[in-house]
Amino acid sequence: MSDTSSTLRIVWIYPDLLSTYGDRGNVLILRRRAELRGIPTEVVRVHSSDPVPEEGDVYLLGGGEDRPQILAAQRLRADGGLKRAAERGAVVFAVCAGYQIIGETYGDDQNNPLPGVGILDVRSGRGDTRAVGEIVADVDPALGVGRITGFENHQGRTAIGPAARPLSTTVRGVGNDGTTEGAYQGTVIGTYLHGPALPRNPALADLLLRWRVGEIPPLPPSWGERLHEERLAAAL
């Protein structure tokens, strides 16, 4: 997809396993910001018993508890559809547990390493303490997003390999390791930010749209931008 006349297919991966802390909001706001620009959309909900379609444009994964996370990773690896979609250039946005399982490895509840989907060069394990609270981070300037905010609730610690780059540098909170937050590689993004992340950070939602449809016109400031500024002010 490279224009605003074709239908944007938003694929919501495993809402029955990976949808904690209101991560469905990422689906809703991405669809809304596309349609406000006249871009027709289709949301495809893929449950864990369903095959993952390879012809989607944007794939969204949310957070989940330890056991659902393991099941989701196993099924995504066996299915192969998400990996093939990413290899052909689809956009992937994954949050928390979803972030960990799209990496090379992640840790189970005993911190035993398990294989991930392998579309993002990161490796995650469990830290000694849990990261809970507001997080603020400055996104890599190359992405043109600026400062983002969200809520984190995880015990993960994530190391970024040479093929990926940190999504952002932490201003407040833990993120990957207390220094960086999230990672990206091509058009694949992983982050620990709940909130949900895209409603709280409209510029991040627009980045995903630009990656798939090209340049898009700006929208007038609305509640999303106000929410972003309010949460930044409250967190700092």
Summarised one tens digit per residue, pLDDT across range 12-27 is: 999 999 988 889 999 9
208-236 pLDDT tens trace: 999 999 999 999 999 999 999 999 999 88
Q: What is the mean pLDDT of residues 80-84?
A: 98
Query: What residues contact 32, with CB distance under 8 A and at least 6 apart?
Result: none
All domains of the chain in start order, with CATH: 8-235 (3.40.50.880)
- For the question of residue 96 being annotated catalytic, the response is yes
DSSP string of 94-131?
EETHHHHHTSSEEE-TT--EEE---SS-EEEEEEEEEE
* Per-residue confidence band for 3, with pLDDT thresholds at 50, 70 and 90: low
- pLDDT at residue 5, rounded to an integer: 63
Candidate list 47, 96, 154, 228, residue with the active-site label: 96
178-213 pLDDT tens trace: 999 999 999 999 999 999 999 999 999 999 999 999
Name the token pair of 32: 């809304």
Is residue 148 within 8 A of residue 135, CB to CB? The reply is no
Name the token pair of 157: 């610690």
Please determine, for residue 144, whether its predicted confidence score (pLDDT) is greater than 60.
yes
Is residue 167 within 8 A of residue 188, CB to CB? The reply is no
Is residue 76 within 8 A of residue 44, CB to CB? The reply is no
67 annotated to bind ligand: no
- For the question of residue 228 being annotated catalytic, the response is no
Average pLDDT of the chain to the nearest whole number: 95
Is residue 165 within 8 A of residue 185, CB to CB? The reply is yes
* Per-residue confidence band for 1, with pLDDT thresholds at 50, 70 and 90: low
Amino acid, single-letter form, for residue 58: V
Question: What sections of the chain are H helices per DSSP?
Answer: 24-35, 66-79, 81-87, 97-101, 197-200, 202-213, 223-235
Report the alpha-carbon distance of residue 158 to residue 179 in Å, rounded.
Answer: 11
Is residue 30 within 8 A of residue 67, CB to CB? The reply is no
Identify the three-state secondary structure at position 161.
Answer: coil
- pLDDT at residue 20, rounded to an integer: 81
Q: What is the mean pLDDT of residues 79-91?
A: 98
**How many residues are listed for the chain in this entry?**
236
- pLDDT at residue 2, rounded to an integer: 56
31-45 pLDDT tens trace: 999 999 999 999 999
115-132 pLDDT tens trace: 999 999 999 999 999 999
Q: Which residues pair with 194 in a beta bridge?
A: 151
Name the token pair of 175: 């993120």
Q: What is the mean pLDDT of residues 160-175?
A: 98
- pLDDT at residue 71, rounded to an integer: 97
DSSP state of 194: B
